[in-house]
Amino acid sequence: MTCQSSESTENIENGRRADHDSRVVESDENRIALAMKDLKNTGWYWGSLTANKAKEILHDSPEGTFLVRDSSQRDYLFTISAMTSAGPTNLRIEYKDGKFKLDSVVLIKPKLRQFDSVVHLVEHYVQLSRTTAYASGGKGQMVPDPPPSAAPLNGTVQLLLTKPVYTATPSLQHLCRVTINGSTRQVCELPLPNRLKDYLTDYTYNV
């Protein structure tokens, strides 16, 4: 039986801790890199756009128009800029424990869903918003989980995401890919060439 000094035991524990921390950092880097890859494929990610420029772009746009940009706040990676009934607003996206979610500080809704990617997050709220818009159009459809409400300084407004603002006109191929993804999640079973299937599965979202 071999005895270890308290100093050597502490060194081992520190080593394990450092190894765990490095794996966490590597995992975070991978997730963020994948999130960036998906965002760059969307066409509505504007990179290092300022809040003022985003406001100019959204000016006179209908409610629900939105874009995603880099956050100007150091503690956040991304921000959604969207047109609401009260005008343009900005909503930060939190990243914590490998998941993305909307900034719970400025939202009324307490329990917010978490997502593996930013695009998945946006896709979720776009689907909710379109369902809400459909129901409010007098179709009588129930909305069990309406989009969250933002709390600006002068009141509460519902956050709707319905129409992205593209940095440039998207290609016909990409628009077709988005449409196909909105129709089926079984792309691999479609009677298409493998090269086309690879293109479709490279971006699996419908927004």
pLDDT surpassing 70 at residue 91: yes
Spatial separation of the C-alpha atoms in residues 137 and 122, rounded to whole Å: 22
Tokens of 141: 């459809």
As a whole number, mean pLDDT of residues 96-103 equals 89
Tokens of 97: 């424990």
Q: Please give the domain boundaries of the chain with CATH numbers for all domains.
A: 37-167 (3.30.505.10), 169-207 (1.10.750.20)
Give Cα separations from 182 to 148, 194, 205 (angstroms). Answer: 23, 20, 7
pLDDT surpassing 80 at residue 158: no
SS (H, E, C) the chain: CCCCCHHHHHHHHHHHHHHHHHHHHHHHHHHHHHHHHHHHHHCCECCCCCHHHHHHHHCCCCCCEEEEEECCCCCCCEEEEEEECCEEEEEEEEEECCEEEECCCCECCCCCCCECCHHHHHHHHHHHHHHHHHHHHHHCCCCCCCCCEECCCCCCEECCCCEECCCCCCCHHHHHHHHHHHHCCCHHHCCCCHHHHHHHHCCCCCC
The predicted model scores a pTM of: 0.76
pLDDT tens-digit profile of 22-49? 444 568 888 889 999 999 999 999 999 9
pLDDT surpassing 60 at residue 138: no
